Amino acid sequence: MARPTTRIMLLLLLIVSFSCVGKAQNFGQPPASQQVPVPAEVAQAESDALGWLQNLIRINTTNPPGNELVAAKYIAGILDHEGIRSEIFESTPGRGFLVARLSANAMPNPSTALLLMAHLDVVGVDKTKWTVDPFGGVIQNGYLYGRGAIDDKGMLAANLAVFVALKRSGVRLNRDVIFLAEGDEEAGGAEGMKFAVDKHWDKIAAGFAINEGGTVTLKNGKVQYIGVQASEKITYNVDVIATGTSGHASIPRADNPVAHLSAAIAKISTYETPVQFNSVTRGYFDGLAAVQDEDTGKWMRALESSDRAEHAAKYISSVNPMWSAMLRDTISPTMLQAGIRVNVIPGEARAVLNIRLLPGNMIDTLVAKLRQLVNDPEVRFEVENSGEQAPSSSLTSDLYKTITQVSAREFPGAPVLPYMSTGGTDSIQLRLRSVQAYGLLPFPITDEDLERMHADNERISVDSFRKGVEYLYAIVSDFSVAK
């Protein structure tokens, strides 16, 4: 009996898998009959946007030097073709941003406006490690490959598709929708977002914003959860400088700065900063516990228990280094510099610590702690920059509510979790101006594909890209179309 059953099963499996060939991925959505049909203008914009994304990848905007305005002009051409006027502002030659607006009323109301933003620049590539041309816009086996496919030209093309679809649909808006394509995100933003905010705030002023920085996490073909970035850690670079007496290496000295610096870095590397929570990380771990395996879920729920918190934090940190970084201030030594000759004891040795503080924490407090820990008069600390402290975006705003409602419809059973990114984004510039900014990379994506961001063979699945456009359109239209 076992045999025929196996054979029938195999046959069934074959039929099922054969019938799946060429079918779009489902991502754990309800059956098509229960879904809200995709409007025709959105389906059309999805197809258009895939071509736009290919072309945007082909325009090399590696930063430095960026040269973002070549891509901005390409977008201006698309918008022009749709009858949408756009403006380009130049910060330095060839760099800056593009902005366009769909107006709800004759008089703009910045407090209600929605800003859709993405950056035009990309990080560099090591071409030898890629299996395809990183600037070719190549589609292979259902994936579009290229630098920027997920960071951040995918989002740029999706924003553009949503913006164009809104215009084509001719709907009446209840708020202005602003499209922003900016530059220099990958190198601090001075020539892009900072320039836009400092010099042309009136062009982009909004009450709400959608930017990169979140994820729609795909696991085993199903969306597991939606992480909406509402906060981010604050970056500082701190120099550690040891000074001593320079001299001939044949006569060792007790104040050799290389030895003192090394000892200091060793001590700093073993220091464990305390675990701390805020409303965003609390919401994240609470919600994430429900979709984890039993053990991980159990320890996530115990993170703030009175008796097991310490073990819980250890366990959670060992499972995923990013979770560890979300629970505490982090310190990464990233650069070392000492010596001019093999036989000369240098007078100085330096290291850089890249520090990411939880919002609200003070760099001086941590540096004082490190100074005490190192306890070496020969070693001093210098803070390079002043980090900007912005409040987190609200978890009860109308836009956050809309994202939650649309997500429940699009990906039933996948919770929306507030997320604090360990890295910085341009959203901080907006939060400093009281904008409710949310990070949302709308494409269902596996952790494996997400790790290709800034790495080799960056890619986006064509089905995910299309789904991301639909999902983003649903959010933007629910939020901005007059009922």
- Residues found near Zn ion in the complex (CB under 5 A): 151-152, 212
Reduce the DSSP state of residue 318 to 3 states and report it: helix
Alpha carbons 91 and 98: distance in angstroms, whole number: 11
Query: Is the distance from CB of 119 to CB of 186 less than 8 angstroms?
Result: yes
Query: Which of 54, 425 has the CB closer to Zn ion?
Result: 425
Least separation, in Å, of the C-beta of 425 and Zn ion?
7
Which residues contact residue 109 at a Cβ distance below 8 angstroms, ignoring those fewer than 6 apart?
175, 176
Least separation, in Å, of the C-beta of 99 and Zn ion?
18
Query: Which of 157, 265 has the CB closer to Zn ion?
Result: 157
Rounded to a whole number, what is the distance in angstroms from the first to the last CA of the chain?
61
Query: Which of 152, 458 has the CB closer to Zn ion?
Result: 152
Helix ranges restricted to H, 82-152: none
Least separation, in Å, of the C-beta of 119 and Zn ion?
6
CB pairs under 8 A, 24+ apart, for 360-367?
Answer: 360/278, 360/389, 361/234, 361/276, 361/329, 363/236, 363/238, 363/387, 366/273, 366/329, 366/331, 367/238
Alpha carbons 151 and 165: distance in angstroms, whole number: 22
Query: Which of 61, 330 has the CB closer to Zn ion?
Result: 61
Query: Which of 212, 470 has the CB closer to Zn ion?
Result: 212
Query: Which of 13, 455 has the CB closer to Zn ion?
Result: 455
Least separation, in Å, of the C-beta of 393 and Zn ion?
18
Least separation, in Å, of the C-beta of 185 and Zn ion?
5
Query: Is the distance from CB of 77 to CB of 92 less than 8 angstroms?
Result: no
Alpha carbons 215 and 442: distance in angstroms, whole number: 7
Least separation, in Å, of the C-beta of 57 and Zn ion?
14
Query: Is the distance from CB of 440 to CB of 227 less than 8 angstroms?
Result: no
Alpha carbons 121 and 99: distance in angstroms, whole number: 16
Least separation, in Å, of the C-beta of 406 and Zn ion?
23
DSSP, res 393? P
Query: Which of 346, 468 has the CB closer to Zn ion?
Result: 468
Alpha carbons 365 and 238: distance in angstroms, whole number: 13
Least separation, in Å, of the C-beta of 190 and Zn ion?
16
Residue 80 to residues 73, 83, 99, 140, 426, Cα–Cα distance (Å) = 10, 5, 12, 31, 27
Query: Which of 191, 410 has the CB closer to Zn ion?
Result: 191
Alpha carbons 228 and 420: distance in angstroms, whole number: 8
Query: Which of 212, 232 has the CB closer to Zn ion?
Result: 212
Least separation, in Å, of the C-beta of 325 and Zn ion?
18
